[in-house]
Each structure stands twice: as structure tokens, then as C-alpha cells.
Amino acid sequence: MTPADLSQAVQAAVSSAVEAGELAVTVPEHVAVDRPKNRDHGDYATNVALQLAKAAGKPPRAVAEVLAERLRGITGVAKVDIAGPGFLNITLDTATAGALARTIVEAGEAYGRNEALQGLKINLEFVSANPTGPIHIGGVRWAAVGDSLARVLRASGADVTTEYYLNDAGVQITKFAASLQAAANGREVPEGGYVGEYIVDIAKAITDVVPGLLDRSEDEQLQVFRTEGLKLMVAEIQRSMDEFGTHFDVWFSEKSLHDSGAVEQATTRLREQGHVFEQDGAVFLRTTDFGDDKDRVLIKADGDTTYFAADAAYYLSKRDRGTEVALYMLGADHHGYVNRLKAIAACAGDDMNHNIEVKIGQFVKMLRDGEEVRMSKRAGNIITIDDVVEWIGVDAARYTLARSSTDSTITLDINVLTSQTNENPVYYVQYAHTRMCGVARKAAELGVDKGTAEQFKPELLATTWENDILGALGEFPRVLATAGELREPHRVARYLEDLAGTYHRLYENCMFLPKGDEEMTDTHRARLWLVEATRTVMANGLTLLGVSAPERM
């Protein structure tokens, strides 16, 4: 029995109590059934009596009494206690709890999937760093979190398109091109330009590919450096993302919005919605109608379109392509954009509380020798995605960056990253998985296995450690659903750490295989089912984080 099953059963109990006239309340849509931290509180606990007490006009414990009697009648429920202010503590019979192992093994990779977001078309945009340099540590965080979030959302049934917005138009690209040109000609990088080894490398790559380039006019050179530089830089970013295991379904070009006329059309479309006005020769969008602190310019007095106009066109493009929810992941330095982006949606006639979501993530702070490393492109001390991968590898990097809430700034110690990588909890989790694989290998050596489903006797999974891990395994689908609904993939990582610890304790206390000349027993077989179930969940969880589930370490 899964927690979801039990929740429904409790809900049904409330229903039947209402029908019998024992409770005068409306049946709640969802009944919370929790795995209590304290073992003495049973396998599962529900606060439903506390929630309904006021509406029922009875003390919580009296409501609990009514429900307890009905819950005791549910098949698989061994015991129901009323505790504290009115909690209902439910204990399952061992066979019912243990049967979950078989359910999981049979579901395999599908276990954990749920339909919380079934059919929802989500466009998830993340990283979107300017193609004027390598991805730095902040961008790496969004790559890890965003890619994992995409996987989590899909596991909840959402139809997700991942997207990288390439700011390949505008003055930053011109500065980038000018920097390349300067480097190729051995000149100083212009004011506000880009510096760094990569500039020199790319410049050289371009002059290698385009012979005689430096003999052409300055203007011609600049054009070549712009197009070729952009091409190479984007390819470089794509390579980094690819190596990082982060996949984007769409690489969306800002320039294409301008070239196709989509930016002008966006202004027209917004004007038709009645939120566009002109003032001082410029064209504005009245975003203040929807919570922005000032109206935003779409077309400047000199006739040029703004970056904001492209943002509007881009949003409309996402919607035109069938997106129901446009989900943006932005860094903390862009939080000021939230209101104006949401206002775009509202001005377009959309629901700004549903069709657009903006998730703001805090920065990554780097520490070296106990001191904060202030990164600046000019000083050339940027920590790039390739640096991090080189130090600790993709698995550890992704895990480290994805295991924390994006609401909190995280601090990474470079000394730790480059040396004592054992401090990374990912190894604790992965090691648990290798131990499960080790059990399977050992079983094969001994020539034994878990047997058929018919031979599986779930009632033999009776120790406290087995009960603990069954409880943890049952939580996986709801952890996933919550992570998807809240857009918080770090919950998956935390869950896996908890599961790994629970497994390590089981491993210490329960033998899965016969030792010496002992016989293989039904208990061994039942435990092999449990180990396989745990391995399945661990592997499924690691996959959601884009982290490998190794058989050996």
C-alpha cells in the first residue's frame, strides 16, 4: 500500500462518516498522510481530525474517534491510535507494507512517475548566458538545477520544452566582435570589451579559418569576427552544456526575432490589446497596469527597438508555439525583471499568475583559502563550467549545485572542491547504490536470486530497518510530485540522501544473503526484493538529477 492509497482510504473514511451523519463537514479534497519522524507514531499519521474539528464543531480528538473506528476496518491497516491533540497514527500490517517492494520492482523506471502535471505544456528557459564568453559558475548552477527541473517536471507528466535564449543581437555582441578583432591585431581590447584567454583563442581560430582576414578593411573584419566569433562561442557553450549532461530542445536566437519582424509584430499585437501608448516620441507598454513600477519602452524615440521589446516578442513566440506555462529561471541580478515580464503576459491578455512563472535563483559564492573570490571578467579570474567539471567531475558538480534551494546563496570552497571531494554527499548516495549492486553481484556469485513474485513473502520484511526503508520508498512519488509542483528539484537530492542513510543502516543490520554454509531462506529472498526496489528508486532519483548511478566506485 502506498501513501497515496492510504490517503484515499482515509478520505473515503471521512466520506463515509459524513454520509452516516457522524460528521457534519465537507470532505476535503486532499487528506495529508505523513510518514512521522517518530516511530512511536505509527507508519503513517494524518492530521485530518485537527483540520476538520472546527468545521465539525467537535474537539479534534472526538473527530479522531469517529474516524479511527472506520480506519480500523481498512484492509491492511493493523492499528490506529489517537495521539496528541488529535493525530491519527496508523500502522500497516507487515505484509501490506512489504508488498511495496514488489510494486516498485515491477514498475522499474516508471516508479515515482506521477500525473500531478499531466499534459501541462511548459517552456523552461534557463542559463541563457550571453554568448560572449564561457559559462561561469552562476550559469552552471542554473544548468544543473534547470536540467534537473525539466526531468522532474516530465516525471510528473508535464510536456516540457527546454530552451536557451541566445542574446546574439545588440551591442554586447559588437563589443565581443571588437574584442576579437583587437586581439587578432595585437591591439588593446577596447573600453568595455571582453578579455581573457578564450578571446585570444577564438580570435586565432577565426584568422586560421579565414585566411587574409586581417588584410581586409576594419569594417569587413568586424563583420567576420562577429559572425564567426558568435558561431564559435555558441558551439563552445553547446559543447560545455552537452558535456555537463544538460540538453536544450531549442536554442532560440534573439536575432531571429528581429530579422523575422517578430519584434515589430509584438508591438502591434500588444497595441491591439490596448496597453501601448506613445510619449515623447517613444512607444511604451503600460506595464504599470499590472504591477510594474514604471512603464517600459518598446520603441525608443530614435526608432530602435529595446531589449524589452524583444523580451515581449520572445514571450509571444513561446505562447504561439503552444506553451501554456512559460517558466523563466533568472539570476538574482535579474529579479527586477519579474514584474515587467509578468506584465508582458498580462498586457498580452494572458493570466500572469499562470501562463508565466519567473523563478529567481541566488548566486554562488566562491571561497579560496577562506576568502571570497570576487570574480570579474576583466581580472580574468572567472570560474567556468569547465573548471568545475575538471575539479570534481560532472556528477559531483551537478549534485552540489542542485541539492540546495535556489532561494539560498551557496558557498563553495575551492580548496575543498579541488581536494577532499569525499565531502560531497553525492558519494554517500552513489556508494549506497553500489552497495545494492554489490549485493546483486554477490547473489549471482552464490547462484541465488530473489525468486519469482509468487515466492516473495512480504510479511517477512518485519524488522524496524526494513519498515524504515519501505516507508522511505513509499515517499518517492510524492517527493517527486512536490518537487515538480514547487519547481524545486533539490528535494529529490535531499530525499536520496535520506534514502541512502536508511539503506546503509539496513545494510549494517540485516543480512541479505546466506553466510557460510547457510541455506537461502524466504527471508533472504524477501530482502533481495527490497534491495532491488531500493536500487530502482535510487537509480530513478539519480537519473532525475542527471547524476550517474554507478555499479562500482
Partner RNA sequence: GCGCUCAUAGCUCAACGGAUAGAGCACUUGACUACGGAUCAAGAGGUUGCAGGUUCGAAUCCUGCUGAGCGCACCA
Question: Is the CB of 110 or the CB of 171 nearer to RNA?
Answer: 171
Considering all CA atoms of the chain, what is the largest pairwise distance in Å, rounded to the nearest integer? 93
Q: How many residues bind RNA (CB under 7 A)?
A: 87
Question: Is the CB of 214 or the CB of 301 nearer to RNA?
Answer: 301
**Which residue of 425, 457, 520, 548 would you call a contact of RNA, by CB under 7 A?**
425
Is residue 491 a contact point for RNA (CB under 7 A)?
yes
Of residues 87 through 126, those in contact with RNA by CB under 7 A are 87, 89
Is residue 192 a contact point for RNA (CB under 7 A)?
no
Binding mask 228-267 for RNA (x = CB under 7 A): ----------------------------------------
Of residues 125 through 164, those in contact with RNA by CB under 7 A are 130
CB 202 within 8 A of CB 229: yes
Query: The cell 512559460 sits on which residue?
Result: 326
CB 367 within 8 A of CB 221: no
Is residue 338 a contact point for RNA (CB under 7 A)?
yes
In this structure, what C-alpha cell is assigned to residue 459? Answer: 510479511
Shortest distance (Å) from residue 358 CB to RNA: 9
Is residue 391 a contact point for RNA (CB under 7 A)?
no
Segment near RNA (CB under 7 A), from 157-165, 166-174, 219-227, 377-385? 166-174
Q: How far is residue 417's CA from residue 445's CA, in Å, rounded to a whole number?
A: 38
CB 216 within 8 A of CB 129: no
Shortest distance (Å) from residue 316 CB to RNA: 17
Shortest distance (Å) from residue 405 CB to RNA: 3
Shortest distance (Å) from residue 128 CB to RNA: 11
Of residues 11 through 50, those in contact with RNA by CB under 7 A are 32, 34, 36-38, 40-41, 45, 47, 50
Question: Is the CB of 78 or the CB of 332 nearer to RNA?
Answer: 332
**Which residue of 186, 212, 515, 519 would you call a contact of RNA, by CB under 7 A?**
515
Is residue 508 a contact point for RNA (CB under 7 A)?
yes
Report how far Cα 219 is from the mean position of its chain's Cα atoms. 45
Of residues 354 through 373, those in contact with RNA by CB under 7 A are 360, 362-363, 365
The letter for the amino acid at 233 is: M
Question: Is the CB of 207 or the CB of 434 nearer to RNA?
Answer: 434
Is residue 522 a contact point for RNA (CB under 7 A)?
no
SS3 annotation, 306-363? CHHHHHHHHHHHHHHCCCCEEEEEEEHHHHHHHHHHHHHHHHCCCCCCCCEEEEEECC
Is residue 448 a contact point for RNA (CB under 7 A)?
no
**Which residue of 107, 234, 513, 520 would you call a contact of RNA, by CB under 7 A?**
513
Shortest distance (Å) from residue 286 CB to RNA: 13
In this structure, what C-alpha cell is assigned to residue 394? Answer: 560532472
Question: Is the CB of 231 or the CB of 505 nearer to RNA?
Answer: 505
The letter for the amino acid at 473 is: L
Q: How far is residue 382's CA from residue 401's CA, in Å, rounded to a whole number?
A: 17
Query: The cell 567576420 sits on which residue?
Result: 224
**Which residue of 216, 300, 354, 378 would you call a contact of RNA, by CB under 7 A?**
300
> In the sheet that 44-46 helps form, which strands lie side by side, from edge to edge?
33-34, 44-46, 87-92, 77-83
Is residue 521 a contact point for RNA (CB under 7 A)?
no
34: which strand partners? 45
Q: How far is residue 422's CA from residue 341's CA, in Å, rounded to a whole number?
A: 42
> In 75-193, which residue ranges form alpha helices assigned H by DSSP?
94-107, 137-155, 171-184
Shortest distance (Å) from residue 108 CB to RNA: 22
What's the distance, Cα to Cα, between the start and end of the chain in Å?
34
**Which residue of 482, 523, 534, 536 would you call a contact of RNA, by CB under 7 A?**
482
Is residue 511 a contact point for RNA (CB under 7 A)?
yes
Is residue 170 a contact point for RNA (CB under 7 A)?
yes
Q: From residue 329, how far is each of 164, 243, 282, 382, 406 by CA, in Å?
A: 11, 21, 30, 22, 10
In this structure, what C-alpha cell is assigned to residue 71? Answer: 480506519
Of residues 48 through 87, those in contact with RNA by CB under 7 A are 50-51, 54, 60, 83-85, 87
**Which residue of 422, 447, 517, 519 would you call a contact of RNA, by CB under 7 A?**
422
Question: Is the CB of 111 or the CB of 507 nearer to RNA?
Answer: 507
Shortest distance (Å) from residue 488 CB to RNA: 6
Burial of 86 from C-beta contacts in 10 A (0-12 / 13-18 / 19+): buried
Shortest distance (Å) from residue 187 CB to RNA: 23
Phi, psi of 405 (to 5 degrees): -60, 140
**Which residue of 398, 433, 435, 525 would you call a contact of RNA, by CB under 7 A?**
435
Question: Is the CB of 107 or the CB of 539 nearer to RNA?
Answer: 539
CB 433 within 8 A of CB 550: yes
- Stretch (H or E) spanning 438: helix 425-446
Is residue 169 a contact point for RNA (CB under 7 A)?
yes
**Which residue of 407, 415, 464, 522 would you call a contact of RNA, by CB under 7 A?**
407
Question: Is the CB of 213 or the CB of 329 nearer to RNA?
Answer: 329
Query: The cell 532491488 sits on which residue?
Result: 532
Query: The cell 552464490 sits on which residue?
Result: 446
User: Which value, to the nearest 10 degrees, does the dihedral of the CA atoms of residues 278, 281, 283, 288 take?
Assistant: -60
